[in-house]
Amino acid sequence: MAATTVEMRALVVVVAIAGRASADPDADTPVPRTRDATLGDVFRGPFQSSRLFAMPTADVVGAYVLSLSGEGSLLQQPGLLTAAGVLAIGFGDIAQLEYRDSSAISVGGIDAPVPAVGVQLRIPIPERPSVPALGIAFRLGVPRTEQVATGTVTETVTDLYVVVRERFAFAPRLKLHAGVRVSPSSIDLHDGHHASRTLTLPTGGVELATSTQTRVVAEVSLVPRFAGAPGSGADPTIGYGVLGRAGLRWAVVPWLVVDGSMGYQIDPFASMGGPATDVVHQWDIRLGAEMFVPWGALACRAFGAFCERPARSKP
């Protein structure tokens, strides 16, 4: 009972700081960067995520905003927490720099995130009916080393995403996302065997706002699928795998979004070049969160830095 009371008090404090009003995540009003802005004004948002779960969207987090997100699952490997995360910082309203984990299926057969650094851009197309938003993301792969029973494996994935987002006047709560991912991928075994391949990977997703705080999200995509065993004397291979996820994203307060999802993995090619299969190879349940830090507004309020320039009065 005591623990429950403490948690309730903490939640009340968080909500009070965030402000009583819930921000519309699709609103165009930026976070105020003025000396007289209250903490409630600053943390009320609105804030815009630049992803579904793993898939990038045609949006960016926004100017003077930092996004920190992470997720994890205890079900993919017993006793091992598999996790992925994103750190993104907005530059202007059309770009963000980021460090993130890209989706891939490792030689162990699990969804093993491969780290990457990159930039995501929102093409400045005016929002109009039947005109989709367009985004481009480039992620330079950082080698990921994995220890398997027979030795060490190093996997690298570099991505170029082109994604579109469409909203419809007759269904304003619905958004459709589609894109293509071009991924030069490579795998190195400690015994000197190597493979590289450039894959073209379609991806798609949908989100439905059930309220101003809650969204139902689903995505499915092809991803690189690594296979190989050090010491076997054979070259590794790079093929295709399918990852899908569906779940909820809930804005507890405008600057903190939590999500829960069920993911599945379909392995259309058996691990070492065996027969194809169309059944679910592996599934898991993931919990995650995304936190938005309006650092520009906080710096303005505290130090007078990064403040908005006052509008010029007309003569």
Kindly report, residue by residue over 77-89, the tens digit of the pLDDT: 544 445 567 889 9
pLDDT, position 228 = 84
CATH code (residue 154): 2.40.160.40
Q: Give yes or no for residue 13 having a pLDDT over 70.
A: no
The more confident residue out of 1 and 167 is 167
Q: Kindly state whether residue 245 falls inside one of the protein's structural domains.
A: yes
Q: What is the dihedral of CA 142, 199, 288, 172, to 10 degrees?
A: 130
* 27: in domain: no
What integer best gives the mean pLDDT of the chain?
A: 80
Q: Is 32 within the bounds of a domain?
A: no
**What are the backbone angles phi and psi of residue 296, rounded to the nearest 5°?**
-65, -45
- Would you say residue 31 lies in a domain? no
Between CA 96 and CA 228 the distance in angstroms is 35
Compute the average pLDDT of residues 15-24.
Answer: 38
3 state DSSP class of 220:
strand
**Owner of token pair 């995520």:** 49
- For residue 285, the one-letter residue type is I
61-73 pLDDT, tens digit each: 988 999 998 887 7
pLDDT confidence of residue 16: 41
DSSP state of 79: T
Query: What are the pLDDT digits (tens) for 254-286?
Result: 999 999 999 888 766 544 444 444 444 677 888
Signed CA dihedral, 263, 269, 270, 272: sign only: negative
- pLDDT surpassing 70 at residue 207: yes
Average pLDDT (130-157) is 88
**Average pLDDT of span 18-40:** 65
- Using CA atoms, how far apart are residues 38 and 214, in angstroms rounded to an integer? 26
User: Domain of 181?
Assistant: 49-303
- If one counts the domains in the chain, the total is 1
Task: Check residue 111 and report its DSSP letter.
Answer: B
Report DSSP state, residue 26: T
- Residues 247, 256 contacting (CB under 8 angstroms): no
Q: Residue 207 — φ and ψ, nearest 5°?
A: -140, 140
Q: What percent of the chain has pLDDT over 70?
A: 79
Does a structural domain hold residue 10?
A: no
- Contact assessment for residue 98 and residue 117, using Cβ atoms and an 8 Å cutoff: yes
Measured over the CA atoms of residue 138, residue 141, residue 142 and residue 144, the dihedral's sign is: positive
Separation CA 69–CA 50 (nearest Å) = 11
Helix (H) / strand (E) containing 67 = strand 66-77
The stretch 101-106 carries a mean pLDDT of 74
Q: Is the pLDDT score of 204 beyond 80?
A: yes
Please provide residue 21's backbone torsions phi and psi, each rounded to the nearest 5 degrees.
-85, 145
Spatial CA neighbour of 90 closest among 61, 68, 111: 61
| Average pLDDT rounded to a whole number, residues 209-225 | 93
Residue 144 has pLDDT above 90, yes or no: no
Tell me the pLDDT band of 172, cut-offs 50, 70 and 90.
confident
2: in domain: no
Residue 15 lies in a domain: no
pLDDT of residue 83: 52
Q: Which of 89, 86, 90 is nearest to 99 (CA)?
A: 86
Bridging pattern class, strands 237-253 and 95-102:
unpaired
- Greater model confidence, 306 or 150: 306
Residue 198 domain-assigned?
yes
